[in-house]
């Protein structure tokens, strides 16, 4: 297809697509003569992915570019690509957690037999969030943390089972999309469930 | 305490605190003479809350101000204050969901007997996220959605049970803080659990 069709099918303006091409977010089309190029379904799919990452997951283009590099890197197994994409998704400046919160996260991870790859930011992110809660006098108790951990394990197992792609790039894209786009799903559901639990408690 | 002590104990610079006072995010201190005011633990606590909402939950000051108005509004029951704070936390421009996704969310809400207050954005946010996933060919199946919904219900029930405050403002602050600051906790745990499930699947 030509650029005009790529634009109408992806819902993105031509200048935006050209910008993604220049920035290397989108692979080049097949050259046809000196000034035209033709595009295929792989371009459309990548544009939809970029759009979902920016519009729904609200990532900046800079972070999208780093996540896509991990998806595209043929040297990474899909587990490593996931870890690598994950590492790029953490906050850029997590506040420093208290030693108590770090120790608490370490105990939790031992109890659950959770281990993380090198450079994964999630344990620090978790400890920083617990620090902030403790500073406000809203430290969650161990029962609540375990409820969260049970929920996280149940969801993760079900998600990993659901991956049926055998192609590495497809599988990595699935996991990255699932991680990012299912986060709004999970948070929206938690807020819905919370409003309902609160209404039923009728306090 | 004087402004200098409020600054050192909250970790916020004096000009920032003065800005919060002018913006109405922080209630005024007790005037002592023409140019000094004295502050108490309630000021410190409010500053810690503002800091947690901006640093950990990454809200803009504009949204923080709206959330605090809901917390402070004595005319709202704590359930209504929660709904009102929630409504202010949704994305400012959720993309339009497909009719299929809207219908799917309606079926889910009926199945779970979930009901939302007027103006609550979460059903639309959920439908928009499902639309985006469907557009990428990663539509989650009903089993995965139910796994999420079960997790959300388990977490919400446990959280509402954990609220022991009888004072309305304390209870609302607890729920708002819990909603916002426990989101990073839940997402970090899901990513940790996902890295682990992926490593164990060893694909």
A36: how many CB neighbours lie within 10 A of its CB?
A: 11
Chain B residue closest in CA terms to A45: B136
CA distance B169 to B182: 19
pLDDT of residue A92: 46
- Judge contact between B191 and A83, C-beta under 8 A: no
pLDDT tens profile B117-139: 776 778 888 888 888 788 777 78
Total-model pTM? 0.70
pLDDT of residue B1: 94
pLDDT beyond 80 at A98:
yes
Half-sphere exposure of A84 (CA within 13 A, CB side): 19
Judge: A152–B190 Cβ closer than 8 Å, yes or no.
Answer: yes
Q: Measured between alpha carbons, how far is residue B153 from residues A17, B1, B146 in Å?
A: 41, 43, 10
Interior angle at CA B202, CA B200 and CA B203, nearest 5: 140
Minimal CA separation from B62 to chain A, in Å: 18
Chain B residue closest in CA terms to A84: B195
Judge: B144–A162 Cβ closer than 8 Å, yes or no.
Answer: yes
Element spanning A35, H or E: none
pLDDT of residue B185: 83
pLDDT beyond 50 at B203:
no
A75, A81, A83, A88: CA torsion to nearest 10: 100
pLDDT of residue A110: 92
pLDDT of residue B195: 77
B41, B46, B51, B56: CA torsion to nearest 10: 110
Chain A residue closest in CA terms to B52: A132
pLDDT of residue A169: 65
Judge: A126–B188 Cβ closer than 8 Å, yes or no.
Answer: yes
> pLDDT class for B168, splitting at 50, 70, 90?
low
Judge: B193–A133 Cβ closer than 8 Å, yes or no.
Answer: no
Judge: A144–B128 Cβ closer than 8 Å, yes or no.
Answer: no
pLDDT tens profile A26-79: 999 999 988 889 999 989 988 988 887 777 666 778 878 877 877 777 676 656
- B1-37 per-residue burial string, b: 16 or more CB within 10 A, e: under 16: eebeebbeebebeeeebeebbeeebbeebeeeeeeee
Alpha helix positions (H), A13-137:
14-23, 41-51, 61-72, 78-89, 99-112, 122-135
Put simply, whether B164 touches A (Cβ < 8 Å) is no
Put simply, whether A102 touches B (Cβ < 8 Å) is no
pLDDT tens profile A101-133: 999 999 999 998 888 877 677 888 888 888 878
Judge: B191–A122 Cβ closer than 8 Å, yes or no.
Answer: yes
**Greater pLDDT, B196 or A10:** A10
Judge: B122–A188 Cβ closer than 8 Å, yes or no.
Answer: yes
pLDDT tens profile B41-92: 989 988 988 887 777 666 778 878 877 877 777 776 656 666 666 666 655 4
Chain position carrying tokens 């998704």: A89
Q: Measured between alpha carbons, how far is residue A88 from residues A54, B45, B202 in Å?
A: 15, 33, 22
**Greater pLDDT, A55 or B94:** A55
**Greater pLDDT, B131 or B30:** B30
Total CB pairs under 8 A between chain A and B: 272
**Which chain B residues are closer than 8 Å to A175 by Cβ?**
194, 198
């Amino acid at each position: 297809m030509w650029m005009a069709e790529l634009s109408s099918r992806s819902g993105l303006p031509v200048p935006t697509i050209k910008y993604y091409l220049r920035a290397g977010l989108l692979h080049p089309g097949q050259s046809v003569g000196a000034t035209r190029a033709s595009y295929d379904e792989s371009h459309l799919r990548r544009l939809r992915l970029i759009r979902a990452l920016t519009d729904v997951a609200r990532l900046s283009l800079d972070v999208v570019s780093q996540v896509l590099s991990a998806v595209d890197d043929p040297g990474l197994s899909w587990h490593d690509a996931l870890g690598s994409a994950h590492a790029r998704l953490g906050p850029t400046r997590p506040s420093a957690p208290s030693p108590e919160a770090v120790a608490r996260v370490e105990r939790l991870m031992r109890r659950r037999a959770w281990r993380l790859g090198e450079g994964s930011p999630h344990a620090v992110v978790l400890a920083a969030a617990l620090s902030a809660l403790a500073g406000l006098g809203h430290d969650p108790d161990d029962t609540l943390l375990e409820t969260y951990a049970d929920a996280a394990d149940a969801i993760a197992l079900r998600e990993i089972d659901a991956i049926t792609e055998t192609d590495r790039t497809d599988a990595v894209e699935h996991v990255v999309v699932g991680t990012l786009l299912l986060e709004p799903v999970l948070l929206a559901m938690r807020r819905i469930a919370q409003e309902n639990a609160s209404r039923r408690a009728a306090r």
